[in-house]
Amino acid sequence: MLDKLVILGGERLEGEIRISGAKNAALPILAATLLADEPVIIRNLPHLHDITTMIELLGCMGIDLTIDERLGIEVNANTIQSFTAPYELVKTMRASILVLGPLLARFGQAQVSFPGGCAIGSRPVDLHIKGLKALGAELDVQDGYINARSNGRLKGAHIFMDTVTVGGTENVLMAAVLAEGQTVIENAAREPEVVDLANCLVAMGAQISGIGSDTLVIDGVERLHGCDYTIMPDRIETGTYLVAAAATRGHVKLKDTDPEVMEAVLMKLKEAGADITTGKDWIELDMHGCRPKAVNIRTAPYPAFPTDMQAQFTAMNAVAEGTATVTETVFENRLIQTHEMNRMGAKISIEGNMAIVEGQEHLKGAPVMATDLRASASLVIAGLVAHGQTLVDRIYHIDRGYECIEEKLQQLGANIRRLPE
């Protein structure tokens, strides 16, 4: 469990790799299979711990699952025996809360433990609860479990989200597709992963308009049928490898990805001096051997710059020409990784929710520790550009969001290997 990554820095990343399916689209879509009264086939699932946990969660409810060798999965929710998401599984993964809406809408009951997951700030589930209550569900919290019931079908409602919440939008959306009448979700999250979920629900027979905007209109239907759906590519994995290539002054081509959902990130990489070309499902980045230029970053909900890419750009800025500011507006302890980078010779100072990064010619290898998923990716990038050896500890965080990170980096010429415990 407590593997480490050993990186010998100084190699430029060069070559081609393919991008995996998006974890943050796959998790809600796996939860959505509970809504269908026929088998649903989901393809392009990434090989990640969170995905296997979600599959395990469905399995422990008695749901019939068939997995093929490429990690495509067929889910038949008709065999369900239990409506409980137990603490043992939920504590390792926040996304388990996403079964709440579907269970409630289809089966009229759910018992879901309060979620665990990353230590990057308080992300309360009260907006999920408030939204489901508006649809007519009865919810109470007892002994760390959210107990939910509905008397008959949920009823459509007008719901305004106080803050933009991806999980909250997804949970309410999934519940609303089987509710009686019309539901309007205002101030809905617009993230591509929410769009992917909505498109999958439509493939199952849901009636949703306004997909991709901040107002979703759902006309409830009596049932959803099966479908065969392919998960979108992971835009954060895509961004991470692009930034790693930019930081190392390299040249890479990423296949099976979608440049359309990468606009904010690609714009910042161009600002940093990267030469970027794109096709329908590929992105090529070439630094022509040049050092990146420092770029100012400010995170905000989609379509603005994603909080999940902030740490990686901070690492690139650490070795860039010039000084940049990185402002984190989404999660309060997201700048946590900067202390570890400073141990590698970075010059980063924190003022409130802003990091001021003075680019250094070189970083030096050091033992560092990952604190959350994206922070650990940034330490890997720092290790790739550092002189000497970097040892990244607690990489189980990385494995939650990146499929075979060391193998993909090896394909791009990095000197990186995994040390088992």
Q: What is the DSSP string of 63-85?
A: -EEEE-TTS-EEEEGGG----EE
Q: What is the DSSP string of 93-153?
A: -GGGGGGHHHHHHHHSEEEEEPP----SS---SHHHHHHHHHTT-EEEEETTEEEEE-SSS
One-letter amino acid for residue 331 of the chain: F
For residue 303, is the peptide bond before it cis, meaning its omega torsion is within 30 degrees of 0? yes
Do the beta carbons of residue 39 and residue 45 sit within 8 Å? no
Rounded Cα distance between 329 and 374, Å, is 16
Beta partners for residue 363, in sequence order: 386
**Tokens 């239990």 -> residue:** 82
**3-class SS of residue 52:** helix
**Positions marked active-site:** 118
Do the beta carbons of residue 170 and residue 28 sit within 8 Å? yes
Q: Give the count of beta carbons closer than 10 Å to the beta carbon of residue 111.
A: 17
Which residue, 252, 320, 249, 248, is CA-closest to 290? 249
Rounded Cα distance between 123 and 12, Å, is 38
**Tokens 């003075």 -> residue:** 358
E strand map for 305-377: 323-327, 347-351, 354-358, 363-364, 367-369
Main-chain dihedrals φ then ψ at residue 269, nearest 5 degrees: -70, -35
